[in-house]
Structures are given as structure tokens and as C-alpha cells.
Chain A
Amino acid sequence: MKEEISGAEYPVVFEDLHKIYEMGNEKVRALDGVTAQFKKGSFWAIMGASGSGKSTMLNILGCLDRPTSGSYFLDGHDVSSLDDDSLSDIRLKYIGFIFQSFNLIPQLTVAENIALPLYYQGVDEGHSEEVAARFASVVGLENRLKHRPTELSGGQQQRVAIARALATDPVILLADEPTGNLDSTTSVEIMEMLVNMNKMGKTVIMVTHETSIAEYAQHRLLMKDGRIDSME
């Protein structure tokens, strides 16, 4: 019950998360006791030195990985020990990913890339085409529906990725260095787009090492040696 309530207000709740990688005899504590809550509709930038555990945290956030111990409540559900299929279903329903290298499928068109998660949700073809067209115009690519990703600029590709992440109306948007492969002008464009999505109510959690990019977020979380150094 308590989780239900906190789930509505805090879609992401971490309770004492640990992630330990065993490398032979050595143990790497990638996450070493992380407890945090992310409020609905907030925009977070996760920062920290290389190796501090940012990617590990994002992978667990995105249900691509499971913590060694501790609990992760996503929208009120404990997802820390689900099986592979259930994690797939959770990703499909709750999470939108935006990657540094865009990660579009080259043989699919812009429209097909945007519609890809809808395909896995079993949405029929006609409806998913409509949704794809709608989100393409949200990111300003209504004239590029039939194009292949390779025919687009980096900024345009990242906008396709944003449209794909939004297509299923996920609970959280996860962005991993979303401007890492873009020039500064395009980076501004993309960040403004993410800010807009956040203003429209999406919870956005972004990993970045650039302070200028982190400025766009309302909150900053600083990681250090697998622990939270500060949250503001």
C-alpha cells in the first residue's frame, strides 16, 4: 500500500542498492548502497567521474540489469528480482531510452523505427503508423517518415530516437549522454526538446559529464565510488 502511494508520487525509488561485479577474486562495487527517490515530473542529471557507477545505475533504472541486492520500485512495483521476460515487459511499458549513439535500426525507416516499441506492444499496423507520424511531427520530422536513419543528420537521428522513446508514453525517459555525439548547436536543440518533454510531465533522468548539459536539468545527482555524493 505504502508503495502504491509513493509509486504515484515517486515513480523511481531505490532502497540500498548494491551492484557487485566479481572479477576473479576481486569484487568491484559498482553501486555500493544507493538510496534515492525521484519525484514524478522531475528532470535529473546524474554526474560523476568515470567509473563512479553512472552507467550501472542507469542500466538498473532501465531494467536492463538487476541489482545484486536492495530494492528498486518502478511505479510502485518491485522490479529488482524479476525474470528476463518480465523485465522486457517492464521496459516496453514504462521506459523510454535515448542513447548517446542514437541506436536506430538502419534497415527500418524513420516511421518504422518510431513504431518499433508499438510493434512489440502488439499495436496494429494502422494505428502504430498514425502514432509514429504524430510523434515524428512532435520532433519536427514529419517530412522524413520514409527516410532511412543514414540519410539523416546526427541531430535528426537523435530526434527520431526521442520520438521512439515517447511513442509508448513511458513513465520515465532515460537518456545516456544524449548529446555526446552532437555539436553544440544541435545539442542545445536536443536539450530544449527534452526540457519540453519534461514540462509536459515526463520524468527525465539523464547521465552526462558535461556541466553545461546538466544545467538543463532541475536536479543534479553526483556519484562517487558507487555511492551518492550529493543530490540537489
Chain B
Amino acid sequence: MKINHSRIRRDFKLGLKNLLLHKLRSLLTMLGLVFGVGSVIAMLAIGEGASAEAMEQIRKLGSRNIIISAQKAADESGSSQDDVRMSIYGLLYDDAERINNTIPTVKATVPVKSMQHAARYGKRAIDLRVVGTTEKWFELVEREVIAGRVMTKRDVKNFASAAVLTEYGARRLLATSTAIGTGIRIGGNTYEVIGIVKSESSADGSMQTPDQMIDVYIPLSTAKEHYGDVFHQRKQGTNIRESVELHQLIVYVDEERNVEKTAEAIERLLALFHKKKDYAISVPLALLRQAEATKRTFSIVLGSIAGISLLVGGIGIMNIMLATVTERTREIGIRRAIGARRNQIVSQFLIETMVLSLGGGLIGIGVGVFIPWLVTIFAHMPTIVTLPSIVVALGISVSVGIIFGIYPAVRASRLDPIEALRHE
């Protein structure tokens, strides 16, 4: 007999009718699936929200970058009370050269010298966070130019007194695009404002993008000439004197697959020239991989929980359907006597289970969307309900309906019509 769409529609209608006949029982039967599907979608949404945020932070650092930061070696941290001694640590100008010249997978290195200087623009006088770097910075950290231009190789070579403000720095100085071409005083030297670049906004991230906390960029050469390497700072009544050549080195690797290897090579190279470990290497890609691995583990745990709850839901459905089949033995006998084939009995009961599981799945989706919404509102956590999670959850619940519906349905169809008619 050919497949008849109107018949399937009628079977669905009949299935729905039978389920509505026992509303409470149907609802209780669906409950397992409702919570199974609901929790899968909700947990995925919460996990997705958390990891998307973390990954976005890491991605901003650049997956082909290696970031080397200067840090005081462990045994020197105690000298901070000693206001005579000077701590000398951090990356060297030569480190940048050596890394660039000896490791073939390194495409570029960007040196960063971080300083703090009193600055004045017009009548406005504040402390600015200044970064001495090269034109490479702007190649690596692509940021939209709001006004003017960014630093060039020539600026660096010519020891130009040129300053590129970040959007954030410009705002602090109360400077607008009319500042381009005008003068700004930084730490007793006058610079020409040559451009303003957009800041990457990182609202509440724990991870720092390279250009966070920067007000102005000047050429590294100029910074070296004007300010040298020694910095004085008064912190809580103590004089801090530090000599640091470079605070950070951003290394750009030619291909993503070489990143880890390159990081190891850098580690070995730096160890040759630094007696103490006064630097830290961080590899955003490794962090990214780690975050991905964490997410995978999370997904496996989640999958197991989901699998168990759906299994329980499925067994619940099978249990009720078996009871239904017994309860409706007479009906099955009547249908068979009239001329229903076995497979028509199978499909009738299977469709009923599918309606049940589809209903459970749909209500479960409602629950699964609602819970993350509550979490976002009350716990202020980002959540992302993804379409695939909904599709998968619905698919699984319908599959559960089919898998756990087959046995009761086949059992119904195997009943001997004569016996079935005699039932009760």
C-alpha cells in the first residue's frame, strides 16, 4: 500500500487525540524528555556563553602571536623596600633582534616599551601611559585609523617626535581630530600628534588585549633617546627604581602550526642570554587550545548527562507505551479484525510515541531557552542558545521516541487478533 500523506496526518491527529485523552499521564510521560532536552539546551547555552567570551578575548591577542612580557625574577621581588638598589630586568633590545634574526619561523617582532609620563595638551595636564614601539605594531595590531596616520618606518628611523593617540588617550586629553598636526608635551619633550587610532573595546574581559591601557604611541627610537631605560616611581612612600629596556615583545609567527615550536625556540634562545628568568612567554594559541579542550571536556560531561536523562525519559515513554498497549489490546484486536495490517498497527503506536516525544522535545526547548534567559537576567552571565543545540535536542528526542516506541508498537502488532478481541 502506498504512503498516504493524509493518512499520516490522520494518524498524528489520532495519536494526539489519544494522548489528550489522558492529559496528566501524557504530561508526566513527557517530563523525562522535557527536562532532558531542556537541560541539554540550557547547559550548552551557558557553556557556550562562557567559552565564547573567553575565546574572543584570546582571539584578540592573535592566534599567531607569542607575547613575551618582562617580569621581575622571583628572587628580586624582596628588594622593593631597599630604596637604593635598582632592579634591572626585562627584555633587551637585542632580544628582539636575536629572535627576529635567528628563528626562521618568526615573521616579525614588535618591541614594546611602556612608560608613564606627565603630559600636557593645551591646558590639560595629566599622566599618560606611553608606549614606545615601531611601525610593526600597527601592522600586527590592526586598528581603524580615526584621524591622521599611524607610525611609519621612517618615523622610527629618524627619531621623529611623532605621537599616535589611542581613541581612549585622546578622550583623556580632551583632544579631537583637530589635534592632528598640533603639539603635545610628554615628559618634557614636544611631539607632533600624527594620528588617532580606535581602541579595541574590551568591556569586562579578564584577558588583556595588547592595546588596552595605552594612551599614546611614540617611536621606540625616540623613547630611548628621550627617556632612557631607568624609571623612577614613588609608590606608597617607597622609591622604585627600575631599569627595563623592553616591557614586551610581540612575536608574529609565519604559520599557526609553527607557533608552539617557535615559542620553544624563543624560550631556549632567551635562556642563553638571561641569567634569571625575568620574562614570561604566553602563547594565545595554547590558551585557545586549552579553552577548546576544556569546552570539549565540558561537552562530553554534558553529553553523558544528557544521554542518561534522555535514556531515562525514553524508558519512561516505553513503560507508558507498554501499559497503553495492554490497556488497548481490545482496540488492537478490533483494528486487526477489520483489516489493519501489522505494520499499520506499528505505525499507529509509533506515531503516538513520536507525538509524545516531539511534544516533550518542544516543551523541553521552551524550558531550555527560558533557563538561560533567567540566568542572564539574574546571574548576569552571558548565554548563547545555539540553533544546532535546539536541532540536535529535538532530533534526539524524536529518535528516543522512535527507538523506545518500536518495542511496544511491535508488541502491539504481534498480538493475535482472536486473543486480542477476547481481552477483558
A residues with a Cβ closer than 8 A to B are 59, 62, 64-65, 84-85, 88-93, 95, 97, 99, 103-107, 116-117, 119-122, 124-125, 164
Q: Are B417 and A89 in contact (CB under 8 A)?
A: no
Q: How distant is B418 from chain A, measured CB to nearest CB, in Å?
A: 5
Q: Are A107 and B17 in contact (CB under 8 A)?
A: yes
Bound CA span A64–B340, Å:
12
Q: Are B10 and A88 in contact (CB under 8 A)?
A: no
Q: Are A85 and B335 in contact (CB under 8 A)?
A: no
Q: List 21 A-B contacts (CB under 8 A).
A: A59-B418, A64-B337, A65-B418, A84-B342, A85-B342, A88-B336, A88-B341, A88-B342, A92-B338, A97-B337, A103-B333, A107-B17, A107-B18, A107-B21, A116-B338, A119-B7, A120-B335, A120-B338, A120-B340, A122-B4, A164-B338
Q: Are B417 and A64 in contact (CB under 8 A)?
A: yes
- Give 9 closest A-B pairs by Cβ, nearest first: A92-B339, A91-B339, A88-B341, A103-B334, A117-B338, A85-B341, A120-B340, A64-B417, A105-B331
Q: Are A89 and B339 in contact (CB under 8 A)?
A: yes
Q: Are A89 and B341 in contact (CB under 8 A)?
A: yes
Bound CA span A41–B352, Å:
42
Please name all residues of chain A whose beta carbon is closer than 8 Å to the beta carbon of B21 when the two chains form the complex. 107
Nearest-CB residue, chain B, relative to A85? B341
Interface residues in B309-346 by Cβ distance below 8 A to A read 330-331, 333-342, 344
Please name all residues of chain B whose beta carbon is closer than 8 Å to the beta carbon of A119 when the two chains form the complex. 7, 10
Nearest-CB residue, chain B, relative to A94? B339
Please name all residues of chain A whose beta carbon is closer than 8 Å to the beta carbon of B333 when the two chains form the complex. 103
Interface residues in B1-52 by Cβ distance below 8 A to A read 1-2, 4, 6-7, 10, 17-18, 21
Please name all residues of chain A whose beta carbon is closer than 8 Å to the beta carbon of B340 when the two chains form the complex. 88, 92, 120
Bound CA span A95–B4, Å:
23
Nearest-CB residue, chain B, relative to A168? B339
Please name all residues of chain B whose beta carbon is closer than 8 Å to the beta carbon of A89 when the two chains form the complex. 339, 341
Nearest-CB residue, chain B, relative to A96? B338
Please name all residues of chain B whose beta carbon is closer than 8 Å to the beta carbon of A91 when the two chains form the complex. 337-339
Bound CA span A120–B251, Å:
75
Instruction: Kindly name the residue among B7, B21, B331, B337 whose own CB sees the greatest number of chain A CB atoms within 10 A.
Output: B337
11 additional A-B residue pairs with CB within 8 Å, beyond A62-B337, A105-B334: A84-B342, A88-B336, A88-B342, A89-B339, A103-B333, A105-B335, A106-B331, A120-B339, A122-B1, A122-B2, A125-B10
Bound CA span A117–B341, Å:
12
Bound CA span A116–B337, Å:
11
B269 at the interface (CB under 8 A from A): no
Bound CA span A62–B334, Å:
13
Bound CA span A119–B345, Å:
13
Q: How distant is B11 from chain A, measured CB to nearest CB, in Å?
A: 9
Instruction: Kindly name the residue among B18, B21, B338 whose own CB sees the greatest number of chain A CB atoms within 10 A.
Output: B338
Bound CA span A93–B338, Å:
9
B55 at the interface (CB under 8 A from A): no
Q: Are A88 and B7 in contact (CB under 8 A)?
A: no
Please name all residues of chain B whose beta carbon is closer than 8 Å to the beta carbon of A93 when the two chains form the complex. 339
B146 at the interface (CB under 8 A from A): no
Bound CA span A103–B333, Å:
9
Please name all residues of chain B whose beta carbon is closer than 8 Å to the beta carbon of A105 when the two chains form the complex. 331, 334-335
Bound CA span A91–B18, Å:
26
B421 at the interface (CB under 8 A from A): yes
Q: Are A117 and B330 in contact (CB under 8 A)?
A: no
Please name all residues of chain B whose beta carbon is closer than 8 Å to the beta carbon of A116 when the two chains form the complex. 335, 338
Please name all residues of chain B whose beta carbon is closer than 8 Å to the beta carbon of A64 when the two chains form the complex. 337, 417-418
Q: Which residue from B7, B17, B18, B421 sits with its C-beta under 8 Å from A122?
A: B7
Q: A65-B418, A91-B337 are in contact. Are A120 and B344 (CB under 8 A)?
A: yes
Q: How distant is A10 from chain B, measured CB to nearest CB, in Å?
A: 23
Please name all residues of chain A whose beta carbon is closer than 8 Å to the beta carbon of B10 when the two chains form the complex. 119, 125
Nearest-CB residue, chain B, relative to A59? B418
Q: Are A125 and B6 in contact (CB under 8 A)?
A: yes
Please name all residues of chain B whose beta carbon is closer than 8 Å to the beta carbon of A124 when the two chains form the complex. 6
Nearest-CB residue, chain A, relative to B336? A88
Nearest-CB residue, chain A, relative to B1? A122
Q: How distant is A121 from chain B, measured CB to nearest CB, in Å?
A: 8
Q: Are A88 and B339 in contact (CB under 8 A)?
A: yes
Please name all residues of chain B whose beta carbon is closer than 8 Å to the beta carbon of A107 when the two chains form the complex. 17-18, 21
Bound CA span A106–B330, Å:
10
Bound CA span A8–B342, Å:
30
Nearest-CB residue, chain B, relative to A95? B339
Nearest-CB residue, chain B, relative to A176? B421
